[in-house]
């Protein structure tokens, strides 16, 4: 079941796609170039040039929609004469059989953009739907659902947008957005004989004052050093809910707490009840199932209105 509360709020204040028109158009053009190659042989050789059509994007299963503006950009790139009319907006909940949008124009153009438009819309809606379910499972707690950098190459901005459409929040966008000392970084420090608390203090002196520092721990005895060094966020990696609760109590509000590692719908409610501030899951983007959305066509013969 989708998170109807958060999705309905999105209907009044929809998430913003944080990409310029140029960035989106370049991404769409690359996707079309990949799919069309040097021409759609089937459509160009077997569909008459003067046939027109209307096609409706229809949900085959319930969920949360994301990516309508991307689908619109696909069709604008294929043929500027195509008319794209969305009946919903991103972040809205869907029922099976519901129409998301309709496109109208030259049948060849509609067919050429079909797969690319659906690929974007199905994947982004799948991410939004999964995020919505995670958010619903944490209702009544303070925990926020956040994403990771485990995204499809070159689709990160779109996938992080889909997270927001589903009622989630974004972690850092890239390696320049914040400091995150994970196990390999900590091992490198230990190999060099540099205590974590010392490294944190020196690093924070050099960093801009608005940059936050997060430290990953997988044992309770690592927490005091992270706190002493001034960590802003402490990531509790692959801990049981019981151990997370102890960690939250140890930290005592001196840093934000983030749960990560093996998060799924079966475990997320107990993790949220441990008192953590954030729950991050790479599964929301790296292994999510696309939402089943179809494009249903109605073709019209020449000179038929």
Catalytic positions are 115, 150, 182, 216, 237
CA 288 – CA 294 distance, rounded (Å): 18
Distances (CA, A) of 32 to 25, 78, 102, 194: 10, 8, 20, 50
Question: Residue 59 forms beta bridges with which residues?
Answer: 293
Here the tokens at position 86 are: 């969305």
Name residue, tokens 């309770």: 220
Burial of 49 per CB tally in 10 Å (0-12, 13-18, 19+): exposed
What Rg value do the Cα atoms of the chain yield, rounded? 23
Dihedral pair phi/psi, residue 119, rounded to 5°: -60, -45
CA dihedral (86, 91, 97, 103) in degrees, to 10, reads 20
Distances (CA, A) of 42 to 39, 79, 109, 144, 183: 9, 18, 12, 47, 52
Helix (H, G, I), strand (E, B) or coil at 221: helix
């Amino acid at each position: 079941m989708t998170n109807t509360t958060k999705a309905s709020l999105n209907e009044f204040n929809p998430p913003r796609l944080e990409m310029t028109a140029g960035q989106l158009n370049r991404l769409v053009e690359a996707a079309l170039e990949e799919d069309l190659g040097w021409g759609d042989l089937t459509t160009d050789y077997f569909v008459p040039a003067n046939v027109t059509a209307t096609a409706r994007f229809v949900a085959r299963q319930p969920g949360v929609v994301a990516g309508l503006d991307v689908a619109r950009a696909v069709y604008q790139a294929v043929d500027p004469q195509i008319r794209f009319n969305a009946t919903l907006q991103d972040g809205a909940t869907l029922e099976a059989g519901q129409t998301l949008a309709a496109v109208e124009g030259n049948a060849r153009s509609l067919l050429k953009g079909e797969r690319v438009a659906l690929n974007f819309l199905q994947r982004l809606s799948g991410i939004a739907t999964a995020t919505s379910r995670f958010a619903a499972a944490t209702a009544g707690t303070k925990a926020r659902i956040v994403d990771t950098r485990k995204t499809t190459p070159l689709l990160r901005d779109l996938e992080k947008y889909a997270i927001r459409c589903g009622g989630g929040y974004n972690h850092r966008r890239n390696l320049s957005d914040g400091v995150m000392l994970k196990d390999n970084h900590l091992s490198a420090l230990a190999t060099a004989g540099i205590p974590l608390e010392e490294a944190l203090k020196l690093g924070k002196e050099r960093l801009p004052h608005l940059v936050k520092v997060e430290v990953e721990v997988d044992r309770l005895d690592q927490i005091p050093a992270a706190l002493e060094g001034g960590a802003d966020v402490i990531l509790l990696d692959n801990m049981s809910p019981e151990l997370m609760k102890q960690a939250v109590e140890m930290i005592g509000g001196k840093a934000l707490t983030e749960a990560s590692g093996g998060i799924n719908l079966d475990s997320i409610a107990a993790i949220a009840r441990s008192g953590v501030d954030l729950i991050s899951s790479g599964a929301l983007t790296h292994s999510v199932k696309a939402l089943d959305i179809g494009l249903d066509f109605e073709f019209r013969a020449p000179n038929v209105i």
